[in-house]
Chains A and B, each alone.
Chain A
Amino acid sequence: MQPFTYVRADSLDAALSEASQPGAAIMAGGTTMVDLMRGNLAAPSRLVDIGHLPGLSEIDTTGPVLRFGALARMADVAEDATLLRDYPALSESLRLAASQQLRNAATLGGNILQRTRCQYFRDGISNCNKRVPGSGCSALDGENREMGLLGTSDQCVATYPGDWGAALAAFDTSVELRSVGGSRTVPFAQFHLPYGDDPAHESVVQPGEIVTAITVQAMPAGRKSTYVKVRDRQSYAYAVVSATVALEMDGDTVTSARVSLGGVASKPWRAPEAEAVLTGRTLTEAVALEAGAAAFAAARPLHHNAFKIELGRRAVARAALLASKRT
């Protein structure tokens, strides 16, 4: 990697001012950042380590607004008893991510900003519009089983890989950002950018900005929620497809539904089409499968990943059926 200056900030203000320097980048847990730097996919001249900043790792899962400090560790949040009871989908999305060692180090803020695992992006040599804008996309005619089919474009078919972000998309989530210039709050649905013609930019975060917290509006459907992650092995693998479903029910009837998808889309993907199918219906396997199919109605399959339409349909169905049984 190219030589760089390492700065360990000891207050948020110091970090913000360091981060505003040209060529600066933020590192929290470092589990993504170090990989990106080793692969020459990020080459900051100044690395601002915020991993140990005080005050940014608190979480509050009881209030009308759930609040997660950006530096809270995945492992700690996954074990929060209130979250596990009231928002099992969120706990599960963390528990099923990465490995225990990574979860011990990785932060929630870093998690939503992790970059795609697309091998053509990571290999440093293939054509990749994300890495070298205008160079093309080798994934289009290459090995594209791991690629996305929702929200993709002819410029890029890479997926947003994270589990936590995938689950957050089902809820009313916002991200709080700070910079030397002030602060702002961005709804999660707008936090990640659609690919369109400019896949190089994945989020609204500007140079010098630091994510300070993630907030989620409390929602009764949280209790009847689940995160279903289909992966090639039982641990330590990204989702082939994941489905988050949160339901409010009156008896067997769904009165309100939230559905989101992971592993198949350019960004954490809310599926309102599936929600519409579920809402007002008696939940049966057939209805659940219908909702799953609706979630993928707009899918643009590639050579090796068309199966995800069927697998995704079933994952949504499984999640809906499981969620409905939660109390």
Chain B
Amino acid sequence: MDGSIGVPVVRRDGAAKTSGTALYAADFPHADTAYAALTTSTVTRGRIIRIDTTEAEAVPGVQMVLTHHSLNETLGEETFVMKGGHMQSSFMPLTSDEVHYAGQIVALVVADTQEAAEEASRKVSVDYAAQHASASIEDADRVEEPMDDKSIDVGDAEAAFDRAPVKVDATYLTPAQHHNPIELYGATAVWQDGKLLVNAPSQWVVGNQAGLAAIFGLPMDDIRVESPYLGGGFGAKATILPHTVLVAMAARRLGRPVKLVVPRETGFTVSSFRPATRSRVRLAAEQDGTIVAVMHDEAAQSAVIDHVAFPATGVTARMYASPNIRMRESTIATDVNTPGFQRAPAEAPGFFGFESAVDELAVALGMDPIELRIKNEPVCDPVKGLPWSSRSLVPCFRRGAELFGWNRRTPEVGSMTTPDGMLLGWGCASATYPSAMCPSSARVKLSADGTCVVSCAAHDLGTGAYTVLGQVAADVLGVPDELVRVHLGDSTLPSGPVAGGSVTTGSAGSAVHMAALAVRERLLKAAAGGGDPASFTLAGGHVIGPDSHGRPVAEVLASVTGGMIEETADWKPGSMSGDQMRMGLAGGMAFAGPTTETHASYSFGAQFAEVRVDPLLRTVRVSRMVGVFACGRIINPRTARSNLMGGMIWGASFALLEETKVDRPRARFANTDLAGYHFSTNADIGEVVVETVDEVDTVVNAIGAKAVGEIGIVGMPAAIANAIYHATGVRVRKTPILVEDLLG
């Protein structure tokens, strides 16, 4: 079957996953494995004044209990990912008696069985000297700390706002949220001959390898991180979670493989989460809808132990033409585990407020919200004046409106109903996501048996990378899909980028493309013998010479030493320096874009929602969603569609369900299981229509692919909130929008 670019190739990993043969990190069997369990703090802030492990050690089968007394080991230099390292947090549990957040690891128990480890972990007895703590940005004692370097000022937005005839000034809230990947966190560590193998679900095997090498003072080659499949990661599995280090230490001391699987509740505090945000958005327009001022002040939850921020205003500033833009960012430190990346970290929360405000402006103007957006479409980046590498937001809206049937919308609140008496609401919102790039290596091998093997330490989180990266090679080499093999998720493979920032296809794909071209060149050279390779071409599994005579690729390869051609390529984004590339390939965080010296590169989308609101009970159901996106070249329409659809469904959860509640008096997360932390079930999601518009982007990277992975979630929460307003006249400026928000 044709497996080239643009073909909806079926997911290569699908059969292994559905038949249960795919090995996830916790599935790897290692002889003589011991099992670990965690004891976590029951207070939020303070000190451990006594920790007694006697009873835990007495549980039959217990091998070891690590606490801050017994860990006693100096770790190598390694730090928080936002400070250039690879760790989820700057704080390493068990290195002191300090407690910085609820649910912090205070002991790690290892036993011969999982049951014994769990039982013993409960028997670790801890006394704390607790101190006052705050885990909510709404707590009175929390202060906003401005991040001046994130400010954006174009023109004089305050003055323009004051003068303008039509304006909106509103504040929007989004809560803390947790990734809750169905595959739980965990790690298995195996030491052999002084070398460490870690099976941990990872979105960044090379980064984890580099970090662990630093921590254990070993060369990178002595560390292997292997994670071929992920049961969801959504950003939470990019960095090294502290327990991975503890498990590796325990395994080294014990001289046995040690496996930890973190229970769901504990997962809320031993990893990261999406921080809460508060956005004040001010928009002003002339009567005709011309936007004259855009102001967005975002304050986001951070941690006392780590300053972390995912500023949205650098992205919302790019949406609409306005001569006056003023953006401000600040953080609010709270006593929580360090927040981290979660699908569209900046954009998803930021766009809820921003795109709700755009809808409010449309209502204030009495203007159609799509018309308002189209009227203010910027010809170039409104902040720096750079040209777009490509931008098709308007075609997305036009097509989306057509698919959704927007022209049948009557704008008056509550004016549309269903035959069974439900209030119908139709809303829309814009979405965008930056197309940044990372350097990547890749290896492509073409063999006489016809197979093409692609290897890269990139990752497939269920996103389709196994499929898509194979297609890039197949496209260049004309190999049928069934002969393509792809290896990912193993740090022994050529370096690949972090599965974050929606970079995989563009970055690893460009490296595969480069390697495949190199293979192709050698193949043609081999076929040409002493002749001119340029007069040879590759088609249908044959090398075709100037005489139009075709020789099977296998025959040409048989004449090559070793019967195969293998090439490894190192690809870097055009705007990146060689040093940056080397740093990135060695496991550093190296991003180029989305704005370079010459261009601004973003994917764009238009999202639509239909809600049905029960007029009496005021419950909301999302009956229809439409999303149309422009993401450059679509390598595989099937996997792209699934990705975008998954994002939209998550967006519906964001709008109506997802919230990690904070128990404010006790300063800790309250609903730490899947019975309490709700996301959409099948029954919550009606029809979902996803399309992409054709777009050619010759700037962004070698294969013209822009970001797909995260944009799907971005506009959905606002589209749904806007639809709810249309149905009910109630403007809810926080998520999740719950039944009590609409009871009136």
Contact = CB atoms under 8 A, between A and B. Distances in A.
Interface in B522-560: none
Contacts, number: 78
Interface string A218-253: 000000000000101111111010000000000000
Given A1-B119, A233-B683, A123 B616 contact: no
Interface string B656-682: 110001111110001111011010111
Contact of A234 (B265, B681, B743): B681
A102 to B, nearest CB: 11
B403 interface: no
B617 A315 contact: yes
A145 B683 CA distance: 23
A77 B682 CA distance: 24
A217 to B, nearest CB: 31
Contacts of B618: 311, 314
A119 B673 CA distance: 9
A181 interface: no
**Do most interface residues of chain B lie in helix, strand or loop, or is the interface mixed?**
loop
Contacts of B662: 143
A142 B670 contact: yes
Contacts of A1: 115, 118-119
Interface string A110-139: 000000010100110110000000000010
A119 B682 contact: no
Nearest to A238: B675
Given A230-B619, A234-B681, A141 B265 contact: no
A307 B683 CA distance: 25
A311 B683 contact: no
B666 A142 contact: yes
B740 interface: yes
A154 interface: no
A142 B665 contact: yes
Nearest to A99: B681
Contact of B666 (A138, A233, A234, A310): A138
A310 B42 contact: no
Nearest to B738: A232
A325 to B, nearest CB: 13
Contact of A235 (B671, B673, B683, B743): B683
A182 interface: no
A230 to B, nearest CB: 6
* Chain A CB within 10 Å, residue with most, of B119, B618, B681, B740: B740
B374 interface: no
B681 A235 contact: yes
Contacts of A64: none
Contact of B684 (A40, A123, A235, A315): A235
A307 B666 contact: no
A234 B621 contact: yes
**Do most interface residues of chain A lie in helix, strand or loop, or is the interface mixed?**
loop
A270 interface: no
B193 to A, nearest CB: 37
Contact of A310 (B621, B657, B672, B743): B743
A230 B742 CA distance: 14
B739 interface: yes
A115 to B, nearest CB: 12
B663 A236 contact: no
Nearest to A126: B666
A314 B744 CA distance: 12
Contacts of A126: 666
B740 A307 contact: yes
Nearest to A233: B684
Nearest to A138: B666
B384 interface: no
B739 A40 contact: no
B122 interface: yes
A2 B120 CA distance: 9
Contact of A119 (B115, B665, B676, B739): B676
Given A143-B661, A234-B681, A240 B739 contact: yes
Contacts of B118: 1
A233 B657 CA distance: 8
A2 B743 contact: no
B657 A123 contact: no
Contacts of A125: 42
A307 B743 CA distance: 8
Nearest to B123: A2
Contact of B675 (A2, A117, A123, A310): A117
Interface string A301-327: 000000100110011011000000000
Contacts of B621: 234
B675 A138 contact: no
Nearest to A317: B616
Contacts of A311: 617-618, 739-740, 743
Interface string B297-311: 000000000000000
A234 B663 contact: no
Contacts of A117: 675-676
A104 to B, nearest CB: 17
Nearest to A305: B740
Nearest to B60: A3
Nearest to B740: A307
Contacts of B115: 1, 3
A264 to B, nearest CB: 13
Contacts of A234: 621, 681, 683-684
Nearest to B43: A125
Given A141-B665, A143-B661, A318 B617 contact: yes
A287 to B, nearest CB: 14
B657 A232 contact: yes
A100 B102 CA distance: 35
Contacts of B672: 119, 123
B265 A123 contact: yes
B122 A40 contact: yes
B265 to A, nearest CB: 7
A311 to B, nearest CB: 6
Contact of B670 (A143, A236, A314): A143
A271 B684 CA distance: 31
A234 B614 CA distance: 13
Nearest to B671: A119
A143 B119 contact: no
Interface string A173-217: 000000000000000000000000000000000000000000000
Contacts of B665: 138, 141-142
A2 to B, nearest CB: 6
Contact of B681 (A143, A230, A236, A307): A236
Interface string B116-139: 001100100000000000000000
A147 B621 CA distance: 24
B120 to A, nearest CB: 11
A317 B122 CA distance: 48
A50 B586 CA distance: 59
A23 B675 CA distance: 29
A235 B676 CA distance: 13
B681 A233 contact: yes
A90 B616 CA distance: 23
A3 B115 CA distance: 8
Contacts of A314: 616-618, 743
Contacts of A236: 681
20 contacts: A1-B118, A40-B122, A119-B671, A119-B672, A122-B673, A125-B42, A142-B665, A142-B670, A143-B671, A230-B617, A230-B739, A232-B739, A233-B683, A233-B684, A234-B683, A234-B684, A235-B682, A311-B739, A314-B617, A318-B617
- Lowest 8 A-B CB distances belong to which pairs? A307-B740, A234-B683, A235-B683, A143-B670, A235-B681, A125-B42, A142-B663, A234-B684
Given A40-B122, A119-B671, A235-B684, 15 more contacts: A1-B115, A3-B119, A117-B675, A119-B676, A138-B663, A143-B671, A145-B661, A230-B619, A233-B657, A233-B680, A233-B681, A233-B684, A234-B681, A310-B743, A311-B740
Interface of A: 1-3, 40, 117, 119, 122-123, 125-126, 138, 141-143, 145-146, 230, 232-238, 240, 307, 310-311, 314-315, 317-318
